[in-house]
């Protein structure tokens, strides 16, 4: 095992774990705390890896911890620009991590505007749509192969790549509401009659 933590490092670890333990109150605080623990390797007294620390101490996977850290960084990027409404959840900020820091405020502003036009709160889907609008066409396909700029994609039928399409249908199905699922089933039944 590596060297023991110094008194200052132990104090820092206790402080940052308190931030996380406070009920994972805000994703920004948690993301920043996880980032410091990871970058300063404050987990090393009881865990060999950051992944092991996250799993054993917080019951969270390393990919999820990385998402929370990324979302916290996004929030810091947005704070550098005068923005009235900030992301309130990690899921709202997460799609913005796909963009360079300079493009994140524009995407967030588009998502907020879209939601306000419809008289509702911003959702992660609003942010994802705004991110896709800003990305260059090549990157859009990487994020969502259902978004393609070709004539056959504009029809109501699925694209030719069934395995990729099926993958994304299953992925997005998990995120849909019961109402959306019912409407989709009705659409399927109508079009297969």
91-145 pLDDT per residue, tens = 999 999 999 999 999 999 999 999 999 999 999 999 999 999 888 766 555 555 4
Domain boundaries, the chain: 1-78, 80-144, 152-193
* Residue that has been written with the tokens 């199905």 in this structure: 173
Question: What pLDDT sits at residue 159?
Answer: 45
Instruction: Please give the C-alpha separations between residue 101 and each of 74, 153, 174, 179, in angstroms, as whole numbers.
Output: 7, 30, 29, 36
What does the radius of gyration of the chain's CA atoms come to, in whole angstroms?
21
* Residue that has been written with the tokens 């090393």 in this structure: 44
* Residue 29 in tokens: 């605080």
* Residue 105 in tokens: 């405020």
Tell the burial category of 133 from Cβ atoms under 10 Å away from its Cβ (0-12, 13-18, 19+): middle
Is it the case that residue 150 has pLDDT exceeding 90? no
Is it the case that residue 182 has pLDDT exceeding 60? yes
Quote the pTM value. 0.59
pLDDT tens per residue across span 2-56: 788 899 988 988 888 877 766 445 788 889 999 999 999 999 999 999 999 999 9
Confidence of residue 64 (pLDDT cuts 50, 70, 90): very high
Taking the domain 80-144, which CATH number applies? 1.10.8
Dihedral of the CA atoms 38, 99, 103, 145 (nearest 10)?
Answer: -160
CA atoms within 13 A on the CB side of 80: 10
């Amino acid at each position: 095992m590596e060297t023991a933590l110094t008194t200052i490092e132990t104090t820092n670890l206790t402080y940052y774990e308190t931030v996380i333990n406070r009920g994972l109150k805000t994703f920004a605080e948690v993301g920043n705390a996880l980032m410091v623990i990871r970058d300063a390797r404050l987990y090393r007294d009881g865990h060999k890896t950051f992944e092991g620390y996250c799993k054993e101490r917080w019951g969270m996977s390393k990919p999820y911890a990385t998402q929370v850290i990324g979302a916290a960084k996004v929030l810091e990027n947005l704070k550098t620009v005068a923005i009235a409404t900030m992301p309130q959840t990690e899921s709202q900020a997460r799609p913005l991590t796909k963009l360079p820091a300079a493009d994140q405020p524009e995407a967030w502003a588009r998502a907020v505007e879209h939601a306000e036009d419809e008289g509702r709160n911003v959702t992660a889907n609003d942010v994802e749509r705004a991110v896709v609008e800003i990305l260059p066409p090549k990157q859009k396909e990487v994020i969502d192969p259902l978004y393609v700029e070709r004539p056959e994609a504009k029809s109501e039928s699925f694209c030719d790549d069934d395995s990729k399409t099926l993958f994304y249908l299953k992925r997005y199905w998990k995120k849909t509401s019961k109402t959306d699922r019912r409407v989709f089933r009705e659409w399927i039944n109508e079009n297969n009659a």
